[in-house]
Amino acid sequence: MTSITLNQIKYVLAVEKTGSFSAAAQECYVTQSTLSTMIKKLEDALDISLFDRKQKPVRLTEEGSKLIAQFKLVYRESQNLTELVQETKKDFFGTLSIGVIPTLAPYLLPMFLDDLVTEFPDINFAVSEITTSKIVEKLKLRELDVGILSIPIQDAKLETISLYKEEFLVYDTSKSKSTHKKYKIKDIDINRLWLLEESHCMTNQIETICNLQKSRKVNNNLTFESSSMLTLINLIHKNKGVTLLPKLTTYQNNLVNKKFLYPLAPPIPVREIGLAIHVNFYKKRMLKILQKKIMQAVKPKLDTPRNIKVVNPF
Amino acid sequence: MTSITLNQIKYVLAVEKTGSFSAAAQECYVTQSTLSTMIKKLEDALDISLFDRKQKPVRLTEEGSKLIAQFKLVYRESQNLTELVQETKKDFFGTLSIGVIPTLAPYLLPMFLDDLVTEFPDINFAVSEITTSKIVEKLKLRELDVGILSIPIQDAKLETISLYKEEFLVYDTSKSKSTHKKYKIKDIDINRLWLLEESHCMTNQIETICNLQKSRKVNNNLTFESSSMLTLINLIHKNKGVTLLPKLTTYQNNLVNKKFLYPLAPPIPVREIGLAIHVNFYKKRMLKILQKKIMQAVKPKLDTPRNIKVVNPF
DNA sequence: TTAGCGTTATTGATGTCATCAATAGTAGTA
DNA sequence: TACTACTATTGATGACATCAATAACGCTAA
């Protein structure tokens, strides 16, 4: 024996309201025969006649009258559940912990974070600036919800969502802009190349672009290790050095002097930035919001060149 | 998009309670895969993850936690509805209007009515003693719920339920019992035959049994019209008359002298008594109760002879 | 590191149920 | 009697729930 369904209840209430099977069927967007069959099926299951069809309009039986209030209550509460679901989906609440790599945080976060925090006041955003390896580790331990980093990353337990592609520009303080139209990779004076310490993907990416060997030293008697873009750029200024900068790092960045920026010749090396989550991450809707906010903030500031080469961060 | 079903709610509550999909599946008497699929289906429809499967035991998500109380409420109210249905089926309430023919009422009603009224105090029994034609008319007008009468009756709008068959006995006050073993139809002295007025089925039945013509007078200068069995029998006593009596009229009836009763030879004429209702009568459960009560009261008091002939009441 | 175990997810086949179109049946009216 | 409006019934079909089998995953012990 099958139990009462909410659909059947809906049909019963429609007949009670309209006093007509055919009108009720219209209200429920089914045919009259469907509604007739389903109400009969319910009556048979209950072993109770709910309606007296011979009366015009159709009326409840005495037994039907005794039950109708409870039918209404069940249906109302199920509607309340549906409404509560919709409200729950509208309201974002809880905590979203975000890890951002240091070569992104200073330029990307200001682009969207204030807007995000304002629009979703009930969400507790916990943002930390950590390297890719830390992000991966914490994601896997489920101590972090989402990372914003350079992709692809290869880990079976993680999943990534692409946000945008960002070209590398040459930042060469030894030259003036009028000298070169397009800077070729081979034009880079690797003896003046400055990089962040090795835990940064961007470092790996630049080394890949320039075909550099690992464990390279800048000068014969100097080992430079810093995680700070600020330090890096100031040293470049002082020593007429050169490095590669992702395009967004140069956007509205007073630290970077535009006259030392050179686009590279195609295929233009780019880094791809995305979100990373654990495969069983369940706050999917917050993720979507984050994704949307970032892309909305970034897209107007980036062209997407045609002839590009995504540089692997490892 | 399909809406939430009570079955899905049941599954969700079982998982919330047990903290395990497989345990919940057992509780719901379905396989784990069914339960897993259906909960996933619900989550997809709602676009909300209700459970965090990675925790052991399985736990509600924050969103799930916000919704679970309402899930419980809907389910509880649907259970309340089911319980109310069962209660409604147990309780008999309202009015049952019963029409009984006069040749039955005096002997049949005392057999079961007190028992019936006592057992179902919430039912309002409205019993009236009226002839078959009045019963038929009122049934069709829906002014009467059920008639107790001699069947068959032919009417497309009515439906009958057989209760029992009741043999006719000869009641002949001119003879002593030792004279005849079995009374034959042809032995009836039709000149001393007394009958009720013509609106009574029993009168028609006796005339059919005895092959009498209609509009017959008892005596040359006397027209006898009465609806009262009491009058009939008293006149028979006074005039050494004869009539046919259904067997139940003779049961524990001090008015009838047993020594004047004679069984008839086979094929024994019988009248069949039954219930009549309108085809759209909906108080079926009360009807069943009435049927049961009558048959329980009558059956021990009637043998069912083998060689019988049902006499049509018309 | 591997094997084993317990648990959840997925998939294809199958049974069950809801639905519709067509039509029968009913009652009322002109 | 014909027509109309309404409810019931029936067979075909599409949608859905279910199961068996197996994959995938995580944990633990050897």
Interatomic CA distance for residues A10 and A8, integer angstroms: 5
What are A77-129's pLDDT values in tens digits?
999 999 888 888 776 667 788 888 888 888 888 888 888 887 777 778 888 88
Residue B1 falls inside a structural domain: no
Domain housing A49: 6-90
The answer on A134 and A71 residing in a single domain is no
Residue B210 falls inside a structural domain: yes
Residue A85 falls inside a structural domain: yes
Whether any strand C atom is under 7 angstroms from the Cβ of A5: the reply reads yes
List, as one string, the DSSP characters of A240-269: T-EEEEEGGGGTT-TTS-GGGEEEBPSSEE
Query: Highest mean pLDDT: which of A9-18, A90-99, A303-312?
Result: A9-18
How high is the pLDDT of residue A220? Answer: 43
Which of A90, A105, A125 finishes a domain?
A90
Task: For chain A, give the mean pLDDT.
Answer: 81
Interatomic CA distance for residues B269 and B264, integer angstroms: 8
Instruction: Provide ipTM, 2 decimals.
Output: 0.55
List, as one string, the DSSP characters of B117-172: HHH-TTEEEEEEE--HHHHHHHHHTTS-SEEEEEE----TTEEEEEEEEEEEEEEE
What is the maximal distance between C-alpha atoms in chain B?
105
The answer on A259 and A277 residing in a single domain is yes
CB of A311 closer than 8 Å to CB of A267: no
The answer on B156 and B301 residing in a single domain is yes
How many C-alpha atoms does A174 have within 13 Å on its Cβ side? 14
Residue A81 belongs to domain with CATH number? 1.10.10.10
Nearest beta carbon to residue B67 from set A4, A6, A88: A88
- pLDDT band for A12, please (50, 70, 90 cuts): very high
Average pLDDT for residues B224-251, to the nearest whole number?
Answer: 79
The answer on A100 and A229 residing in a single domain is yes
The nearest CA of chain A is from the CA of B108 a distance in Å of 29
Question: Chain B contact for A54, CB < 8 A?
Answer: yes
The nearest CA of chain B is from the CA of A274 a distance in Å of 23
Q: Write b or e for each residue in A272-282: b if 16 or more Cβ atoms lie within 10 A of its Cβ, otherwise e.
A: bbbbbbbeebb
The answer on A161 and A49 residing in a single domain is no
Question: Chain A contact for B142, CB < 8 A?
Answer: yes
Nearest beta carbon to residue A4 from set B49, B61, B78: B78
Residue B259 belongs to domain with CATH number? 3.40.190.290
Indicate yes or no: CB of B85 within 8 angstroms of CB of A46. Answer: yes
Scanning every residue of chain B, which has its alpha carbon at the shortest distance from the alpha carbon of A91? Answer: B63
Average pLDDT for residues B266-279, to the nearest whole number?
Answer: 84
Interatomic CA distance for residues A54 and A70, integer angstroms: 24
- In chain A, alpha helices (H): 6-18, 21-27, 32-46, 62-90, 105-119, 132-140, 201-209, 229-238, 284-298
Q: Write b or e for each residue in B53-87: b if 16 or more Cβ atoms lie within 10 A of its Cβ, otherwise e.
A: eeeeebebbebbebbeebbbbbbebbeebeeebee
Question: Chain A contact for B53, CB < 8 A?
Answer: yes
What are B103-124's pLDDT values in tens digits?
888 888 888 888 888 777 777 8
Interface mutation target, options A61, A62, A68, A74, chain B, most CBs of B under 10 Å: A74
The answer on B288 and B148 residing in a single domain is yes
The answer on A191 and A134 residing in a single domain is yes
How high is the pLDDT of residue B19? Answer: 92
Which of B36, B64, B90 finishes a domain?
B90
CB of B84 closer than 8 Å to CB of A9: no
The answer on A146 and A231 residing in a single domain is yes
Question: Chain A contact for B5, CB < 8 A?
Answer: yes
Average pLDDT for residues A252-262, to the nearest whole number?
Answer: 78
Count of domains forming chain A: 2
The answer on B127 and B57 residing in a single domain is no
| Protein side of the strand D interface (CB < 7 A) | A 20-23, 32-33, 36-37, 39-40, 53, 58, 156-157, 279-280; B 2, 5, 7-8, 29-31, 33-34, 37-38, 41, 54, 56
Residue A1 falls inside a structural domain: no
CB of B53 closer than 8 Å to CB of B66: no
